Structure formats: C-alpha cells, structure tokens
A and B are shown apart, each in its own frame.
Chain A
Amino acid sequence: MSKVTLRINGQDHKLDIPAGMPLLWALRDKLDLVGTKYSCGIGTCGTCTVLVNGAPVRSCVMPATGMAGMEITTIEGLDSDGAHPVQRAWNDEDVPQCGYCQGGQILTATALLRDNPDPDDEAIDGAMSGVMCRCGTYPRIRKAIRRAARYAADESGETS
C-alpha cells in the first residue's frame, strides 16, 4: 500500500493505494466515483478518459500513485448539474445510445474545445479518434461538438 493524496474535481483525497493500481480503480473502488468507466484496460478504447491538468488521459493505464499534485477532473466534476456547454450540447443532440463511453467522449471533447474553440470536422475526428463507441454515435458526436462550440461562444459573449 502506498499513501497518496489525489486532487480530484477540486477536492483532496488521502488514499491508501495498492502499488501499481491505476487511477481508474482508485476512482471506482476506493472513492466510488463510478462515472469513469472500465472497458479495455490497456489504454486503447478511451472509455476511461479523465482530464489531468486539462488534458485527456487514459485512467486505466496511469498508476494512481504517480498522480499526486495533479488536477484530475472526472465526468462527475465537469458540471454536476450538466450545465457545461458540452453536456448541454450532448443532451440537445441526444448523443448517448447505451451511454457507457460518453463520459470519455465528453471529457475528450471538452479538452478539444479548450484548445480549439471552433473545430472543423477534421479537427473533431482527429481529437476524438481515441474514444471508441460501439453504438455508433459518431455522427452525433460531431454535431454535438459543433453545437457545444456555439454554446460556449454564446456564454463567453454574454459574460464579456
């Protein structure tokens, strides 16, 4: 067991973690933050994506003990009421089918829009290619990201 303090969704969590345990399982089995999902365990499908210092990371292959001092955002921490522009766009385009991969999709899209507030389809496909969806929601993911970009632009217009 190793002691580590993880900063998750703005809160510090002091944890005793088995050596080598990936962040995914620290979130799910130590903290009951089950929004981050397991699917492949080898960093291939992107379902387990979280944001680490704002960048998408596969939590299933990142040892939790190495994540001290980093700002970790899970799907629970994006906006717990679903009011983030990406979440709103995802609902309005009704992207989810089964919904299992959507946390990883949403966080990856959030990171994309932070770096590129108005991505074209090529930029969207490039940024989102790491997250698989078995239900085939890809056409809607493209639409939802374009919609989220509009929502975010409207929000920043309102506040400036």
Chain B
Amino acid sequence: MTQQTIDRRSFLRISLLTSGALVVGVASPGWLEAGEHDDERWVPNLYVRIDPDGTITIVSKNPEAGQGVKTAFPMVVAECLNVDWRDVKIEQAPLDDRYGRQVVGGSRGTPDGWNDLRVAGTAACHVLTRAAAGQWGVAASACTASGGAIHHEASGRSLRYQALLEAAARLPAPDVADLDLKSRPEDFTLLGTFVPGVDNPQILTGKPLFGCDVRLDGMLYAVFEKCPTFGGRVRRANVEQIRSQPGVTHAFVVEGTDNAAGLQPGVAIVAETWWEANNARRHLRVDWDTDHADSTAGYDTRAEALRGERGETLRADGDVERALDRSKQLVEASYYYPFVAHANMEPQNCTARFDAAQNRIELWAPSQHPRGGRELIAATLRIPERNIHVNLTRIGGGFGRRLRNDFMVEAAWIARETGRPVQLQWTREDDLGHDFYRPAAWHHFRAGIDDAGRMQAFDHHFVTFGSRGRTVSGAGLSPGHYPAGLVKNFRLRQSLVETNVPTGPWRSPGHSAYCWAYQGFFDEVALAAGRDALEFRLDLLSRHYGEPPLDLERTSDTLRLAAEKAGWGRRVLAANRGLGMAFHFDHGGFVSHVAEVEADGNRIRVDKVWSAADVGPILNLSGARNQVEGCVVDALSTAQLEITFANGAVEQGNFDDYELLRIGQAPEIECHFIQSENSPTGLGEPPIAAATPAITNAIYAATGKRIRELPFSRAGIALL
C-alpha cells in the first residue's frame, strides 16, 4: 500500500505499516541518484510516524553536539504537520544512507534540512486533511489542521489524526511541487518560539546519553597512547610488563598507518575499568621513532623570513602599489593569532563491538561525521561498509573536532584485537595533545586612504601554514573574501610555513580567526582617516568593485541594529570604558556585534555584548540565542588561549595550562534577530567571527591599547 512521488528535490513516500502506523519518508536526491534504493528494502519511516494510539514520532537524522538540531528539526516537522509539540516524541536515527547527509558541520544542517522537513510534515498533513474531507464529503479547502486534528469549522466536526491513518495512506501522495510549504515567520506558531532541548530530561537527571555513557555486557575499557611528536612510530614498548598490571587484560602495539586523521601508531591498554587501564600507563615505556621537531619558535622564525618575500599572488584588482604610493595616508599593521585546540568537554571516545564470525562491527560514536568514520574503518580494517553499523550518541561538544574520526578507527581496531566490546576513552591530555588544531597565521596589512578618507588600496600578505606547498586544512583564505571586492585596488599574497602538525576545521574555520585581523585593522584605518568606526564600515559596505563579496545590505543592517541597541554614538562613556564593533558573514549568516569593555589599567572586563544576526527565520528561539551566546563566550575564551609546540609535540597538557573562560568573566549578551524571509541558515558558526574583534576594538577604546597579537596576554591584557 504505497504510493510515491518523485520530484527534482526529494523522494516522498506515504504508507501504512502493518501496525497501522502512517509513515512519511523523504529520501535525499543524492541517495536516490546513487541507485541503492529498491522498494523491498526501503522501510520509509524516515521522518515522521503517526501510531494508531496517536503517538507522533519524528526522527532526527543528524548528530546532536549541542547545536540544537535534535530540537529544531523536529519543530519544523511539527509546525508543518500542525501537531502540539508536547505530543511529539523524538527518535535519534543511526547512520543510514537513506538520510543523505548526516553531519554536524559547516552550519549546513538547517539549509539542507529545511526543504525535506517541511515536505514531510506538510505532505502528511495534506493527506490527513484530504482523508477527513473525504469522510465528511466536504472540500479539503474547507478544512483546517491544528493540534493533531482536522477540523471542518462549518459543521463543527473534528477528527484526530489517528482516526484517519488508513484513509490517508490510501490517498495518492501529493506532488511535492504542489505542496504549500510554510516559509514566512508570520505563518509559524511553533517555530520561532522558545523551546527547551528535547534531551534536557536525560541531561538534567544524568541518564545515559553521551558516547562515554554506553555500557555493554562484558565490555572492557581502553586507553591508547600515541607518540607526543605527531606521527611518531613505535619501535618497541614494554607491553609484557603492562599486561601484568592490576586489572589489565590486554596490552599491544598498533602499527597504525600514515594517515594523520586515521589509525595512528600507538600502544593500546585494555582493562576491566578505565582507571586501571589508564593507571597502567604510568609504567608504559615506549621507544618512539620520530621524524620532525616542529616548534612554535621555529614557525616564528620561518614566518619572519617569509614576511619580506613576495609570496604567491592569489588576487590582484587594480594597481595596489601605485594606489598606495598615491594615497594621502598609509596605514600598516601586522596581526598574529596562535594555534588553538577544540577542547570539547567530553574527551574523544568511542565504543565498539566486533563480531568475528560475521566480520561485522557495531559502534557507538560521538562523531560529527559518522559516515566518514565508517569509510575510515572500512578502509583500515577491511570490513565492508555494509557490515559497519554506527549508532549516533549525543556529543559532548563538537566545534569541528569530531569531523575527524581517529577515535572511531582506534576503538574499532582495539575491539577487533581483543575480541571483546571495548570503550576507548581518551584522557584530557590525549585530547589536547592529539587534536586537529586551528592553525596560527600572520597577516601583514597595508592600506591607502584617499583625500575623502576612503580606503582605496588594500595590500594583504597572508603567512599561513602548508605541507608540501599546499595550505593545510583550516589554513586557507578565499581570494573572494572581503575586503576584496570592496576596495578598488586590492591584492592578496600568500606564503606558507611548512608544518607537520595536524590541523583542521575549528568552529567557523578560518573566519573565526582572520575576521579578527581584518576588523581590527579596519578600526586602525578608520581612526587614521579620522572617521567613526560605524560610519567607516557602512561606507565600506556601500559600494563594490565587481562581484560583491557578501550581501552588503544584509550585513549593513545587522551592523546598524547592533550599533543602535548598544547606543553607539549616543552614549557618553567613562574614560575607562569603550565600545567596539565588527561585522562578518560566513556559512550563510550575517552577524555583527558591539562590545562594551571596562578597564582597570591593563585588566579588563567585557561587560556586555549586543549581537544582531540575520539567518532568515529563527527555528528555535532558545537554540538560536544559545548559539549566539555560546559563540560570544567561545570567542572571548579562545582569545585567552594558545597551543604551542616544542620537539614536534604540544606543550600544553590539561585545563590547568589551557584554561577555558570561567563564569565570572562571561559578559551579558543581548541578541537581536532580523527575521527575513530568506531560507533559514545555521547559527552554530556565524556568530563567533565578529565577536573577537568587537571585543578587542572595545579594549582599544577603553585602554588605548591595540591588540595585534593573540592571546590577550601577549599584549599584556588580562581579564578581571
């Protein structure tokens, strides 16, 4: 009893299960094109199920790392299905190709899911409405849906959804293109409201939820020691001695691979309890074979040498040298930010159970990109992908770290070697010492100001990190990035410092770092030109040369709104206080911040941050504000932190020398949203980039001290 409609975007199916439940499935076009579907295999309970007892179950396909998707996505379905939120149950999907993309990253969940989620909810409501209209012999257009029932107002009749399941399943599925999908904030009743997270009941009572909470019968616990110097191999290790330590059941060398994001060489220790496995590590002696000694000091020296070189020109508009020569004023400055770590509160872990007879493996993984983990395990352990089942657990912080799945392949390998279910748990030291760091960079700027006080030349030498002549992950800068396109004469040159350190995406990769350099320098240029920071920026955003690098109007609107809320230009501040601002655009979102800072000499407090964001309609007001607040705190926290290297290894060990922001240092944050009719985009990343420069620009206003190097301590600034 199935019907289906295919359009260019989605593959929709509405059917009745033998239990009497109505299910609506939407498959991604990618899955459809892959040609893996067949009617027999596809049980389409993919998005929403209505049971005969009235229970409405909505499936959340993406991993939840605190970005709020497990609450916001089902809200979209519930909105379009016209059911009460309190009647909805949420189910976490495992990794399954039928769902298409299942990734936390790139703030792409919202834009990718927006269509399918609305289609699922709207299609179900569509057939339920027609089923009721059919029973009553009235036109469907005379019926309305709300609170999980169809109503015919003219006759005062209502039918609950559960009374309509069979009839609805007999109707032809609607053509997706004909569905009237809600898209404007004024059409929403649930979306845009403040809805607490669906996992709160478990979180607040300590119920098992996270990767490290998994407990299996006969499970052992593992630690995995890798070489402190990245990529080092094991020559020999005293594993026999380790095996005799209390509680230890297994200890063995893992030869590993060359893949820095895969199975690295190391020593596994497995025990009855995790503490015994880790305690045995004190006696572990490994002779490591290493082939580099990367250091922060070495990087600095190399970067300083590269500074005077021409570098590779990535973009040149107009004639920047000539324009600089002819400018009325020349402003020059260099900015530097260090490597930083992700430091998720839940250190990396994964649980695995290997079935040797079937060559199958099941995993419980707090991964942002579980499909990548499955592919890695398939390639490393030579287990077919169809024999690898991945359960998605709640993730104790992602920030991009868990897009890499080294911890998954380690758990899989150790579980196969031991033949027992194993939970691998990294220590904090493992986690800080084997991250995929946000790379440092040096930005050398020169700007030319003309008679009208406008920036008419911008020369940028970007010294970043590479390996064998190619920028490493997270170290690139798009030639299309502003101020390219906003300044008539523009040049971007790039030089690479060679590195052996693993790098990777870190919340709003690149943007969260270089926005600070740009927006700090803009303040310097505005100041030199004798112009107000807001007026200078709005003027910069008022014209473009060629393709605009960002939507000038939407960006300006957020800047104006944040400035207005902060009372920019309208307040008289004490001499030790200052306001600073910045705008940015990334991952589809436009966000500006204004920060207010209070100074006591070189000690400062960030009192308040006003934030204005345009990411289209807001799905969950609570989740949206949470992401803005979290990004502001993250920005201030990260601006105090630095990962350094010596002898090819990280020098920081734990939170005692990589200390995140404490509550007393967190500012008050006031969020404002411009709810346009544009399709909604994600908020996990866009609010962070502009927060750092808004704060450092405010520090300048309060102290006269321009921060051109991070962390703050390099400029002699400390937080009160």
Contacts and interface: CB of A to CB of B under 8 A. Distances in A.
Interface string A1-34: 0000000000000000010111001001110111
B279 interface: yes
A65 interface: no
A38 B347 contact: yes
A95 B212 CA distance: 21
Interface in A137-154: 137-142
Contacts, number: 199
Contacts of A37: 210, 212, 345-346, 396
A76 B659 CA distance: 28
B655 A102 contact: no
A44 B660 CA distance: 10
Contacts of B65: 98
A56 interface: no
A53 interface: no
Contacts of A29: 221, 272-275
B205 interface: yes
A47 B206 contact: no
B246 interface: yes
Contact of A125 (B398, B631, B664): B664
Nearest to A99: B203
A94 B667 CA distance: 18
B630 A97 contact: yes
A128 B428 CA distance: 21
A40 B346 CA distance: 9
Given A38-B425, A128-B663, A44 B655 contact: yes
A78 interface: yes
A115 B664 CA distance: 19
Given A94-B197, A98-B65, A136-B630, A76 B206 contact: yes
Given A40-B654, A140-B629, A94 B205 contact: no
Mostly helix, strand, loop or mixed at chain B's interface? Answer: loop
Contact of B204 (A20, A32, A91): A91
Given A41-B427, A102-B204, A129 B664 contact: yes
Interface string A118-136: 0000001110110111111
Contacts of B644: none
Interface stretch (B332-340, B479-487, B632-640): B632-640
B660 A139 contact: no
Given A18-B275, A94-B622, A139 B669 contact: yes
A30 B271 CA distance: 13
A90 B200 contact: yes
A96 B637 contact: no
A90 B667 CA distance: 19
Contacts of B427: 41
Contacts of A36: 206
A107 to B, nearest CB: 10
Contacts of B347: 38-39
B630 A135 contact: yes
B201 A82 contact: yes
B428 A39 contact: yes
B317 interface: no
A102 B623 CA distance: 16
B344 interface: yes
A121 to B, nearest CB: 9
A106 interface: yes
16 contacts: A22-B275, A29-B273, A37-B346, A37-B396, A39-B345, A41-B427, A76-B207, A94-B200, A97-B630, A98-B345, A103-B206, A132-B662, A135-B66, A135-B633, A138-B663, A140-B626
Interface of A: 18, 20-22, 25, 28-30, 32-42, 44-45, 47, 74-76, 78-82, 87, 90-92, 94, 96-103, 106, 124-126, 128-129, 131-142
Interface of B: 65-68, 194-197, 199-201, 203-210, 212-213, 215, 221, 246-247, 272-276, 279, 343-347, 394-399, 425, 427-428, 622-623, 626-627, 629-634, 637, 654-656, 659-664, 666-669
Given A96-B200, A103-B206, 15 more contacts: A21-B276, A29-B272, A40-B656, A45-B345, A82-B204, A87-B205, A94-B196, A98-B344, A100-B397, A129-B664, A132-B660, A134-B344, A136-B666, A139-B633, A139-B669
